[in-house]
Structure 1
Amino acid sequence: MTQAALSFGAAASAYAEHRPDYAEAAVRWALDAAPGPRVLDLGAGTGKLTAALGADVIAVEPDPAMLGELRRALPDVRAERGSAEAIPLPDGSVDAVLSGNAMHWFDMAVAGPEIARVLSPGGILAGLWNVVDDQVGWVAELARVSGSAAIGPRDTPSGWRSATARLPEADSPTRFESPERAEFPHGQLRTADTLVATLSTRAGMLMLPEPERSAALDRIRAFLAERPETESGTFTLPMSTCALRARRR
């Protein structure tokens, strides 16, 4: 697990408050091929995806601060500390493993066999990512102004396609079939202040030295104050939930 992957705990409460949920259609698509109802949310964070996965869900998260937020928000969900590389579940115990904005952090050479171990025969591994729609003019400009620490190459649909082109079959070709991919329209109701708060929870932003982080957030704030789409009141940030799913062989 990289230092960036473990950076979110410092902003766990802000993450819980400001990160978006996932398009319902994407969640349904990820699960509709699963052979049963038992679901693992792997790298569950504060439970943004967990909340949409039904009653028979187990959440596993390595960061104790993020896990604490999940347990406070979803006290009835079984939530365990663990990682994709060391899942605290027995063999064949779930029918689907889902991961929201987290699979890119996994060491798939280790996590692939471990995920396959806990999946039932024919079980589904699915990853979901929320990305901004840079086909919308002001969003593309926001990405340019924000810089890669706030909106990185993977945070747009085309960047996501490139970044996930080899997941998960490249590291586990004998364990998973070739993945299917789909993209679902989504959006998040924001104000300028809450969008700045959302971008401040990105791993790249959390890793920046404080003077650089403050300067980047100031640039974003100034941009939003000048754009007619975002200068006052609430607006919808155009997004997509991008998803891939692969069946365990």
Structure 2
Amino acid sequence: MVNTHFRSVVVAAALICAGVGAEPALAGVTHATKTVYHPVRGRDAVAMLAYLFRNPVDGEEARLASLLSQMRITALDVAAGTKPGQPANAAGCHISAFGMKARFTITLPKAVDERRLDRKTRKAWRAFVVTARKHEQTHLAINLELYRTIDREIRKLSTTGSCRRLGARFDPIIDRAIKRAFAKHTALDRRDTRRAPTLPIFRLAGLSSSDIKAFHADSVQMGHSVSALLLRREFRNR
């Protein structure tokens, strides 16, 4: 349900490699999270899911919830000489200040007519939202771990050569961290794809595992077929 993990990571990588003017040094990675809601209309499981597939979160096909990650470098500075505690070398270079700040926005579906739902449907819908929240929070944790890994590894950098040589070592650190994070995101989406059909809201709508892959990052085509299926059922219910 997330396909935006690396929008800002790529930008951040470019900033790091280009060199950002130093600001007051910040220790580690700071972050802030906010949750916003995507309105969903309908008074039964079929109608709500049909509406959500017709009007997906962030306008992306088959996206039922989302996480937007934004990260910026708040401090980056280098200093001549090797790090304290290492053999002295005035010609060397090391990272003297480095900091990052991450902003996360989780978007969750919100039933506009929740009070008018029957008890069974309301309970199923709330369980779905809880599951979606946990799913996005797990993606958030993966991205936060990614940022902290980059921060930790870059802070260790030191060279007996020039600062330009030091900068050339940023790319491999960032590439390795992103690759590991992407593998975790993919595994999470695949796991929750398999679990999605067991959620009560999908069972109430009559969707089977062959009908829906709501949590999978590559679910665009499936989103079209599920939307059509739900629309047909919604039409029959009118």
**TM class, shorter-length:** under 0.3
TM-score normalised per structure 1: 0.21
Higher normalized helix content (fraction of residues):
2
When Rg is computed on C-alpha atoms for both structures, the one with the higher figure is 2
